């Protein structure tokens, strides 16, 4: 029996009923995750390995005959040398030393058949583990199309392990994988293995094995070269990238409109129906204003976020994103970052959390931390409702550039620019001080261009939607309910207190001296506190506070704001939001991803000071200018 140190009891062999676990291993870009998605469908769980920032993806695959196996999708690896965090995690999982992770009893080694000579290098350490192993040669369709070939029987003899030629993307050849999952054989018995930590020898071994299996590398993809001639063209390349970026923004802000409106209408409609069903009581108010209103105000952003991810998914699956990173590298280098930081900063325009996750592709740890620290300065979609409300209340719409640009759109653009410049400046500051880089060279693999498939895209979107909705159902829900309770308690003579006497009111009075220099009253102050949970929460909070305030009840929210805020206070509020502290979800994620609370604390303090100072200066300046 295999000794499994530190393993969670789920996978202990002494429990005969627990499903057996199989690890999926492979180099980056080998299509490992596509295979994982194919085999496990939607039955996945994403978490982090304890103590490290590496994502743990577990899935369940049904096997013939009714049983199930647990699939562990390990991070992409070039070798098992435990240098990077990813490689350390992979080694620990494979040797059964990882806490809270089932101990794998077999391995699916996924290699890109179009890069077999190179990818076979990883086979040496994996086969050396002594676990039953199926070598999955992926991208069979591409190998065929481009005139490559491999004798899988000869390869199986050389490696002493079964080999399957599949296309995970097209679903071709997966029966072999499924029957391996159902019943795997003995440990592999390779003809020979090289010294594992000697890279040149491993490579020599890999090419010898390739030769014996009569491996013929496919002809370099003509399509890829032709497309690169366009996409990396000195002028066209830059122009196309600019067009792509404009399209991404257009998608987030314009094309998502009907979808967002639809979701909003749906939430309002269902809220109204629910309200009609319930008798008037504090419970009804809690459900409608607290739960439905609070959670609904966040769920409205789902279409926008999914649209952004659809775009990013298409760009990534097609291979264009690597080119975009290549083109951006030179510009990013000026502020001390690199091309790979470009993708997270682009995603940050939707939300900082996916951006922080996307920073995982950056190998240089300092560059990665710098990217994570500046991501929340980029204006995320959650700030849009705040901008829209304040600008609509204070700035009359006038055309600036004919029908192209009005004053309000210009103000929003200006706020975007402010956030972006703050991010760039901060990056430069970090990279020339505490995060000065160690000399890890910038290396970026250019995958061939591929046609993105609907299936892979759908898998991504479902994954994202699930993460987003889980957040709305937990953190946002908790905040909304807390806000509601704080506004309705403590009871005065068993009745709801006037808002000034509620906990929220008390809190507001407490912080009023701190926000007064910025031109804010206590309601805005409470709104700012609630915006720590989610930026857009301030709109809901202000709505609730004004709705409860008998004086303001008759006024719309815009009018109520005009009554509470001076124009210079409004400018200060906008500037504050452009530079404001990361929301709590981001805060937690930064802690998790950087592996230390020092970074999110630094980020929070820095952005807090930046926002406060910026708002104060804006308030003074706007006051002077009238």
Partner 1 sequence: MSLLDLHEGQQGVLDRLELPEEAARRLMELGFLPGSTVVAAKCAPGGDPRVFRVDGAEIALRSATAARLKLRVPAPATPEQAG
Both tokens of residue 411? 């103000």
Q: How far is the CB of 374 from partner 1 (least distance, A)?
A: 21
Q: How far is the CB of 476 from partner 1 (least distance, A)?
A: 40
SS (H, E, C) 585-616: HHHHHHHHHHCCCHHHHHHHHHHHHHHHHHHH
Both tokens of residue 280? 């008037």
> Under 8 Å CB-to-CB from 217, ≥6 apart: which residues?
114, 115, 116, 117, 148
Measured from the CB atom, is 438 or 494 closer to partner 1?
438
Q: Which residues bind partner 1 (CB under 8 A)?
A: 78-79, 81, 83, 114-115, 117-118, 121, 199-200, 203, 217-218, 220, 224, 228-229, 232-235, 237-238, 322, 326-327, 329-330, 333, 339, 439-446, 448
Q: How far is the CB of 199 from partner 1 (least distance, A)?
A: 4
DSSP 360: G
Measured from the CB atom, is 330 or 466 closer to partner 1?
330
> Under 8 Å CB-to-CB from 429, ≥6 apart: which residues?
none
DSSP of 510-540: HHHHHHGGGT--HHHHHHHHHTTT-TTHHHH
End-to-end Cα separation, the chain, in angstroms: 80
Q: How far is the CB of 367 from partner 1 (least distance, A)?
A: 13
Measured from the CB atom, is 37 or 79 closer to partner 1?
79
Measured from the CB atom, is 402 or 439 closer to partner 1?
439
Measured from the CB atom, is 82 or 414 closer to partner 1?
82
Measured from the CB atom, is 199 or 245 closer to partner 1?
199
Measured from the CB atom, is 316 or 536 closer to partner 1?
316
Q: How far is the CB of 232 from partner 1 (least distance, A)?
A: 4
Residues 474 and 514: their CA atoms lie apart, in Å, by: 30
Measured from the CB atom, is 81 or 453 closer to partner 1?
81
Q: How far is the CB of 27 from partner 1 (least distance, A)?
A: 9
SS (H, E, C) 57-68: EEEEEECCCCCE
Q: Report long-range pairs for 545-553 (Cβ below 8 Å, ≥24 apart).
A: 545/487, 545/499, 545/504, 548/487, 548/499, 549/499, 549/523, 550/498
DSSP alpha helix (H) spans, 160-256 = 174-182, 199-212, 222-231, 236-250
> Under 8 Å CB-to-CB from 425, ≥6 apart: which residues?
none
Residues 498 and 343: their CA atoms lie apart, in Å, by: 48
Q: How far is CA 538 from the centre of its chain?
A: 24
Measured from the CB atom, is 62 or 118 closer to partner 1?
118
DSSP of 134-155: EEEEE-HHHHHHTT-B--HHHH
Measured from the CB atom, is 118 or 178 closer to partner 1?
118
Residue of 4, 24, 22 lying closest to 14 (CA atoms): 4
Residue 37 burial (CB < 10 Å; 0-12/13-18/19+)? buried
Q: How far is the CB of 62 from partner 1 (least distance, A)?
A: 35
Measured from the CB atom, is 330 or 501 closer to partner 1?
330
Q: How far is the CB of 361 from partner 1 (least distance, A)?
A: 14
Q: How far is the CB of 338 from partner 1 (least distance, A)?
A: 8
Q: How far is the CB of 363 from partner 1 (least distance, A)?
A: 8
Q: How far is the CB of 447 from partner 1 (least distance, A)?
A: 8
């Amino acid at each position: 029996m295999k000794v499994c140190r530190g393993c969670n009891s789920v996978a202990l062999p002494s429990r005969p009923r627990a499903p057996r676990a199989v690890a999926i291993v492979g180099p980056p870009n080998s299509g490992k995750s596509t295979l994982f998605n194919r085999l496990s469908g939607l039955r996945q769980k994403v978490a982090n390995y304890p103590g490290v920032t590496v994502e743990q993806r577990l899935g369940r695959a049904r096997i013939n005959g009714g049983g199930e196996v647990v699939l562990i999708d390990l991070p992409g690896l070039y070798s098992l040398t435990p240098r990077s965090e990813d490689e350390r995690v992979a080694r620990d999982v494979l040797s059964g030393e990882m806490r809270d992770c089932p101990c794998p009893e077999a391995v699916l080694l996924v290699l890109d058949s179009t890069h077999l000579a190179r990818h076979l290098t990883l086979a040496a350490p994996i086969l050396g583990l002594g676990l039953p192993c199926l070598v999955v040669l992926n991208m069979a369709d591409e190998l065929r199309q481009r005139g490559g070939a491999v004798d899988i029987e000869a390869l199986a003899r050389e490696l002493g392990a079964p080999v399957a030629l599949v296309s995970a993307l097209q679903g071709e050849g997966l029966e072999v994988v499924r029957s391996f999952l159902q019943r795997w054989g003995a440990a592999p018995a390779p003809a020979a293995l090289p010294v594992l930590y000697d890279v040149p020898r491993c490579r020599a071994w890999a090419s010898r094995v390739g030769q014996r299996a009569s491996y013929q590398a496919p002809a370099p993809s003509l399509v890829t070269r032709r497309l690169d001639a366009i996409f990396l063209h000195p002028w066209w390349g830059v122009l196309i990238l600019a067009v792509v970026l404009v399209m991404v923004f257009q998608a987030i802000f314009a094309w998502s409109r009907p979808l967002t409106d639809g979701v909003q209408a749906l939430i309002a409609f269902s809220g109204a129906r629910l309200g009609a069903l319930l008798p008037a009581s504090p419970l009804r108010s809690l459900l409608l204003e607290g739960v439905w209103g609070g959670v609904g105000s966040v769920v409205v952003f789902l279409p926008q976020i999914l649209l952004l991810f659809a775009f990013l998914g298409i760009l990534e699956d097609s291979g264009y994103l690597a080119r975009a990173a290549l083109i951006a590298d030179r510009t990013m280098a000026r502020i001390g970052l690199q091309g790979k930081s470009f993708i997270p900063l682009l995603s940050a325009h939707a939300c900082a959390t996916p951006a922080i996750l996307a920073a995982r592709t950056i190998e240089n740890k300092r560059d990665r931390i710098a990217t994570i620290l500046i991501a929340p300065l980029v204006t995320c979609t959650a700030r849009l409702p705040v901008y829209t409300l304040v600008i609509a209340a204070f700035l009359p719409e006038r055309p600036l550039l004919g029908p192209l640009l009005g004053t309000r759109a210009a103000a929003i653009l200006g706020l975007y620019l402010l956030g972006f410049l703050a991010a760039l400046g901060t990056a430069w500051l970090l990279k020339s001080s505490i995060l000065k880089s160690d000399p890890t060279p910038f290396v970026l693999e250019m995958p061939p261009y591929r046609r993105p498939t609907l299936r892979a895209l759908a898998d991504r979107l479902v994954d994202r939607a699930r993460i987003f909705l889980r957040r709305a159902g937990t953190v946002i829900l908790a905040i909304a309910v807390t806000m509601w309770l704080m506004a309705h308690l403590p009871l005065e003579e068993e009745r709801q207190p006037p808002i000034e006497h509620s906990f929220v009111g008390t809190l507001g009075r407490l912080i009023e001296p701190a926000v007064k220099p910025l031109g804010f009253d206590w309601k805005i102050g409470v709104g700012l506190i609630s915006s720590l949970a989610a930026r857009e929460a301030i709109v809901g909070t202000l709505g609730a506070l004004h709705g409860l305030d008998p004086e303001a009840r008759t006024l719309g929210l815009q009018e109520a704001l005009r009554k509470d805020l001076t124009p210079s206070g409004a400018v200060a509020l906008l500037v504050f939001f452009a530079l404001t502290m990361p929301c709590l979800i981001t805060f937690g994620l930064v802690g998790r991803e950087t592996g230390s609370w020092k970074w999110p604390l630094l980020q929070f303090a820095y952005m807090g000071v930046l926002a406060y100072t910026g708002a104060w200066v804006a308030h003074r300046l706007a006051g002077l200018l009238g």
